[in-house]
Amino acid sequence: MDFSSFITSLATSFIIFVILMMLFAWLCTKPGNAVIYYPNRILKGMDPWEGSRSKTRNPFAWIREAFSSTEQDVVKMSGVDSAVYFVFLSTVFGIFLISGMVLLPLLLALHATEKIPRVVDSTGKNAFDDLDKLSMAHLKERGHRLFASAATCYWVSIVTYYLLWKAYKHVSDLRAEALMSAGIRAEQFAVLVRDIPSSSEGYSTKQQVDSFFRQIYPETYYKSIVVTENKAVCKIYEELEDCKKKVARAEIIYGNSKEVNPEGVRPTHRTGLLGLIGKKVDSIEYYNKKITELTPKLEAAQKVTLKDKQQRSALVFFTNRVTAAAAAQSAHARMIDTWTVIDAPEPRQLLWTNLHKTFYEREVRQYVVYFIVFMTICFYMIPIGLISAFTTLPNLRKLLPFLKPILDITSVRTVLGAYLPQIALIVFLALLPKFLLFLSKAEGIPSQSHAERAASGKYFYFIVLNVFIGVTIGGTLFDSFKDIQKNPDSITQKLAASLPGNATFFLTFVALKFFVGYGLELSRIVPLIIFHLKRKFLCKTEGDVKEAWLPSDLGYATRIPNDMLILTITLCYSVIAPLILPFGAVYFGLGWLVFRNQVLKVYVPKYESYGKMWPHMHVRILAALLLFQATMLGYFGVKQFLYTPIIFPLPIMTIIFSFVCSKKFYRFFQSTALEVASQELKETPNMEIVYNSFIPPCMNADKVPEEQLNV
């Protein structure tokens, strides 16, 4: 990529960014869009525009608001997990900023002023374009200036260690503060018990759990909820809820029709398939009758479930936090495969269908899933290649003859011919995060947050291995495959020449990511359009409208691996092509700003894991650092730097640092320290409320339904 196309690409991204910013500034002031730009505030019952006092609506007010918001605001509006995400963003921003302050002036000067003979590549052009002159490729082999590169490797590593250490401490404080809070959080009084052994004396699981825990905790044991097989009862419950919604909708339609005609037209529908065939009935009457039918049926089903469908798992409640925290950390039975006790997740993020899985089932599932993920990451190109090979136009014609008329249109054929091979890959990449989340849940993990962490970890390996290493090493090898065949020794030469070239590619990639990505993120064009379409054509009741604008959460499972990719790329090229550092810094700095706005005003977290994501991010930042150090080792080798061994201590330091951090901090992220749990509460907990909050909605007819409950 030469300099002019680099500038073109950068300029295009920037223009898109500016347009999206302007769109945002204009759209977000319209009251009708408030539900898209301020849903988090609206759901918390606040005035959407409360931050900007004047109604003049300065289009850049959000920037001021974002900067003036404190960490406590974030915790209050969006929980500890979001605050931890900002710690991540600011830490990485800090790493790039402090590294850049030293690396940029030093290395750029050294690279640009190196005098080396003009190298001409195979096509006769100068091998170094303007950008490449600023990279390490421009340094002489075995030159003394390579010492500066080596020293900067140490600088980057030490900055990373220092900031990560500070960040881990800070996150640990955040977590402690949240867990110590005097407010009553139901999950702090509960533990999740799995692998309850089957009793021989014909006791029910409920009796077993009660007698077991009452013996151990005679004073602090409160009650238990035995996990039940809720499939049947949930089906009835959903049907009932559906009927209630439909009655509400039919009544609104009837009410609206009264405005036109004073008698009104009672809405009707057909009972058959999709409302198209069958007997025509009065909707309000029909659904009301169905509700009166279903209500006793639900109650009966609930009773049957409670009695006969008990599974070997339970939620156990204690009357104080210390006992619950200590219980979650103690072995209750002599064998690890019975009476496994862990911290209870929040009710809203419990994965009920996973709770009954036994210890051995979980172990086996885990290894099977690891194997599937390994195979997917390493060999995903094979099935995709096969699919694209088979979905050629002639094959499609043969296999799906009814598509023939469409395929015969020339323009369709041209487009399909060009894109068909990529479609399988695009579909795969779009579905992969969901597939990984599905696999993580299939491991038998009991909570949504844990499953997302697991999925995020898997996605990280996929992205780093395939995108980063694939593009860097694979691209280089593939490009020069023929040369290498002729002359195998040239491979190191090729790598040396192409690594800095790849840097330019990644530079534009990072820029595209933050300009277009953050532009779309902030302006929320896509959710806005979908919302307006839905409201116009689908929504009848207030509930429907609310459902149409309800925002999602931050989506850590895909967001963090993507950030990690940028982090890995920037770190790895930081010394080779230091020009990437400001781009990386802007990615994380701008990200901090944009997400500060989004978190305070838009996204509603689906769960709170009290920063359990952090150790996971910490380890992956260190993995990226290790990859950087390995890359540098390799690149110094390629540059025939005689003192390459002075880099050897770096990877060892990283491993020791990672070990020390995990030893020092990690245990508190696994379980709650008793010191923290023993802080006084502001009031005696009402245990009945704590207990009820864990009952799934389909088992409790009087309860408000929780959308997030995964039954």
Nearer to its own copies, 326 or 575 (CB): 326
Our finding on whether 671 is near its own copies (CB under 8 A) is: yes
Contact status: 191 vs its own copies (CB under 8 A): no
Q: Which residues are paired to 342 by β-bridges? A: 192
Q: How far is the CB of 67 from its own copies (least distance, A)?
A: 30
- Of 17, 161, 339, 635, which one interacts with its own copies (CB under 8 A)? 339
Binding mask 612-651 for its own copies (x = CB under 8 A): ----------------------------------------
Q: For tokens 């990560």, what's the residue?
A: 164
For 416-420, which contacts have Cβ atoms below 8 Å and span 24 or more sequence positions?
A: 417/393, 420/388, 420/391, 420/392, 420/393
**What's 220's DSSP letter?**
T
Does residue 331 touch its own copies according to CB under 8 A?
Answer: yes
List the one residue from 663, 682, 683, 702 that touches its own copies (CB under 8 A): 663
CB atoms within 10 A of CB 472: 21
Q: Percent helix, strand, coil in the chain (nearest 5)?
A: 70, 5, 25
CB 192 to its own copies: min, Å = 16
**Binding segment for its own copies among 71-79, 142-150, 335-343, 631-639 (CB under 8 A)?**
335-343
Please tell me the distance from the alpha carbon of residue 158 to that of residue 95, in angstroms, as a whole number.
10
CB 699 within 8 A of CB 233: yes
User: Nearest approach, Cβ of 635 to its own copies (angstroms)?
Assistant: 33
Q: In what order do the strands lie in the sheet with 340-343?
A: 221-228, 310-318, 190-194, 340-343
| Cα 230 from Cα 26, distance rounded (Å) | 48
Binding mask 141-180 for its own copies (x = CB under 8 A): -------------------------------x---x----
Asked if 199 interacts with its own copies (CB under 8 A), we say no
CA gap 614, 618 in Å, rounded: 6
C-beta closer to its own copies: residue 49 or 217: 217
> Please, which residue, 26 or 659, has the CB nearer to its own copies?
659
By CB under 8 A, name the one of 326, 451, 454, 577 that touches its own copies.
Answer: 326
Taking the least distance from each CB to its own copies, the nearer of 154 and 668 is 668
702 is a contact residue toward its own copies (CB under 8 A)? no
The least distance separating its own copies from the CB of residue 298, rounded to whole angstroms, comes to: 38
Tell me if 219 contacts its own copies by CB under 8 A: yes
The site string for its own copies over 511-530 (x = CB under 8 A, - otherwise) reads --------------------
CB contact at 8 A, 40 and 78: yes
Among residues 37, 62, 86, 212, the one that binds its own copies under rule CB under 8 A: 212
- Considering only CA atoms, give the Rg of the chain: 30
State whether residue 203 is helix, strand or coil. coil
Per CB under 8 A, which region of 279-287, 326-334, 426-434, 473-481 contacts its own copies? 326-334
If the CB atoms of residues 270 and 664 are measured against its own copies, the closer one turns out to be 664
- The span from the CA of 242 to the CA of 287, in Å, is 9
CB 254 within 8 A of CB 266: yes
For the chain, report the end-to-end CA distance as a whole number of angstroms: 52
The whole-angstrom separation of Cα 417 and Cα 511 is 31
Least distance to its own copies, CB of residue 199, Å: 14
CB contact at 8 A, 349 and 606: yes
Burial (CB < 10 A; 0-12, 13-18, 19+), residue 615, is buried
CA–CA separation, 253 vs 258, rounded Å? 9
C-alpha span between 113 and 296 (Å, rounded): 85
| Residue with smaller CB distance to its own copies, 128 or 339 | 339
**674 in contact with its own copies (CB under 8 A):** yes
Identity of the residue, 353 or 678, whose beta carbon is nearer to its own copies in the bound complex: 678
Q: Total binding residues for its own copies by CB under 8 A?
A: 35
Q: By CB under 8 A, tell whether 664 contacts its own copies.
A: yes
| Residues binding its own copies (CB under 8 A) | 172, 176, 212, 215-217, 219, 322, 325-327, 329-337, 339, 663-668, 671-678
